Amino acid sequence: MTAAAQPHRIAVAGATGRMGQMLIEAVRAAGDCRLTGALERADSPALGQDAGAFAGWASGVRVSADVRAGLQGAQALIDFTRPEATLAHLPVCRQQGVALVIGTTGFGDAQKAQIAAAARDIPIVMAPNMSVGVNVTLKLLELAARALTTGYDIEIIEAHHRHKVDAPSGTALKMGEVIAAAQGRNLQDCAVYARHGHTGERDPSTIGFATVRGGDIVGDHTVLFAGTGERIEIAHKSSSRAGYAQGSLRAVRFLAGRKAGLFDMFDVLNLR
């Protein structure tokens, strides 16, 4: 950051959660960013505490449940919470002109429409996974899917920690969407999310999903293109949430100076 440049002023939602703490540490370590707000639920025991207390440093920012106050002075909010929380933050960001980076997953179509409507007034990056590596993996899947249109059964296997509440993961669904679109299909028409009992032979036109939940797995995703006599596997494995945090900061930088629009990490990373 040059002497004349001003830091990106960032608020973090879910500030005391695992991802929130990782984001706060990433903002602290970045030379071009500054923490200005830390949001939490109204019943959080951390309300009023310094947002950096978990790491033993004084950020000067207090954890708050007051969204309007927490966004005061912020240029961007990074939100990895739950759909209902993100949608509660959305209108306040819209009213106060705060850009939004959404890593929350599990939105329904109507909820996504609310976000798209808000993007007419503020800039938003929304992606099921902010990791740079995951988004490069999505690009590789797009290329593979175009070449492997026939003769290959496609299965997506994902694993996450025991606390994750939605399944399949947003990243797994995004992988399925990318593959289906690359083959001229709609994921809703070909996805299989569960198998049990006498299922019969596999329909070669389907894209299958398998979900694993356990322990503290940060996030593993593997896509199988299983053909006759060979199998191609494209996988991404996360050992920490640091990659999600760094990708989120790249999204904040991408949004700086933009007035409005709905973007994803392909836009941020110039992968179109």
How far apart CA 130 and CA 243 sit, in angstroms, is: 8
Q: Annotated catalytic, 139? A: no
Neighbours of 242 (CB within 10 A): 15
Instruction: Write the CB contacts of 20 (distance below 8 Å, at least 6 apart in sequence).
Output: 12, 13, 14, 38, 80
Q: Catalytic residue among 8, 161, 163, 164, which?
A: 164
Instruction: Write the CB contacts of 130 (distance below 8 Å, at least 6 apart in sequence).
Output: 101, 103, 243, 244, 245, 247, 248, 251, 265
Q: Annotated catalytic, 8? A: no
Q: Catalytic residue among 160, 174, 221, 236, which?
A: 160
120: Cα within 13 Å, side-chain hemisphere = 4
Cross-strand bridge partners of residue 214? none
Which of the residues are catalytic? 160, 164
